[in-house]
Amino acid sequence: AQMQAALPMLASSPHADERAEFHGNVAVLFDNVGLFDDAARHRQQAIDATRELADHAHQVGLWANHAASRLRVGDVADAADAVQQAGRLIAAYELRGSTVGFVAVLRLQVARAEGHYDEAFAAAEDARRELQASNPTRLPVVALNEGQVWLDLGQPARARQAWLGCEDTLPPHLEARRQLLLARVARPLGLDTEPHLAAARHAAPAQGWPEVSLLVQIEQAAGDEDDGALAALQARALADGLPGAALAAWLRRRDVEAVHDAAAMLARAGRYAAPLDYRAAVWQQAARLLGAAGDGSRAGRASADGRRWVEATEAHVAAALRDGFRRRNPVNAALLGLA
């Protein structure tokens, strides 16, 4: 209530530094409770104020926070734009420090989501260099995200090694993600996933980070093969403004009703991604569901679109890793007819 009362006064404040500080803080508060669109509006007002001040370092921090917020939503396109905005300021004013390392981690996440794996590895190196010098306690976050790159490339052992190296070093919301990823690589090996799922449930924050709680519930429902729960979680994620989590739930559904959402999920594929999933999985799932429903024409188009994405992405994979990318990533193997 006090914040709402202060809004008109601060919005008309002649002091840009006050407006930048206030709107930036309000954006963080809205992010914490999952009101991401409200956060974005306030963050833009903070960015506008920092431009008045020519406070480039503060502006970089705001763009970084915006990118992190949009990645939580699953909005890769908006996050990529924010990372580019931050990167231009960093280069123009030769900025250094922990925030620059944070931007490099975000670059890694965006590049991995876009399938630009060469850029993802380069960003990981930049992040390690900056954080080692400025905030080494954040280095495990680099390993957490780099592990996802290895998993996409069909290298689950390297991914698991990266994640095991992060034990007891991550904040709760990231520890929950680490445990979900460990469960994901354990399942195909026939290993018990329940210890990882239990640890994810324990780590997921009870307040704030609503997308993390949703992802934990989605993984649990998938392990239980509970399509009804997955459909409900998909609907809840969409209602909460979390299209990335909604996509994560849909990717795991096996019920015939899921085919009705295929067109909507494919339409979002260019902009949104499920935070812990490989990008091309959307085309594989659509092709599977449409084929099972007897719609061979649309299934074929979905498969072809997925193949094109994989083949274009190969240009961003080191030559020594391309065979594994094609054959050991199960989504790619299916789309390329190598399974």
Map tokens 């390329």 to a residue: 336
List, for residues 171-183, the tens digit of each pLDDT value.
999 999 999 999 9
* pLDDT for residue 131 is more than 70: yes
Distances (CA, A) of 30 to 2, 47, 162, 209: 15, 16, 32, 11
Mean of all residue pLDDT scores within the chain: 95
Q: Please, are residues 252 and 223 in contact by the beta-carbon 8 Å criterion?
A: no
* pLDDT for residue 243 is more than 80: yes
* pLDDT for residue 62 is more than 70: yes
Residue 64 is inside which H or E element, if any?
helix 56-73
Residue 33 CB contacts under 8 Å (≥ 6 apart), including other chains: 208, 210
Q: Please, are residues 67 and 107 in contact by the beta-carbon 8 Å criterion?
A: no
Other CB atoms within a 10 A radius of the CB of residue 57 amount to 15
pLDDT at 11: 60
CA–CA dist 264, 261 (Å, integer): 5
List, for residues 80-127, the tens digit of each pLDDT value.
999 999 999 999 999 999 999 999 999 999 999 999 999 999 999 999
pLDDT at 201: 97
Q: Please, are residues 27 and 46 in contact by the beta-carbon 8 Å criterion?
A: yes
* pLDDT for residue 8 is more than 70: no
Q: Which residues share a beta bridge with 272?
A: 75
Find the angle CA(173)-CA(184)-CA(251) to the nearest 5 degrees.
90
pLDDT at 168: 87
% of the chain with per-residue pLDDT over 70: 96
- The HSE-up count of residue 31 (CA atoms within 13 Å, CB side) is 21
List, for residues 199-224, the tens digit of each pLDDT value.
999 999 999 999 999 999 999 999 99
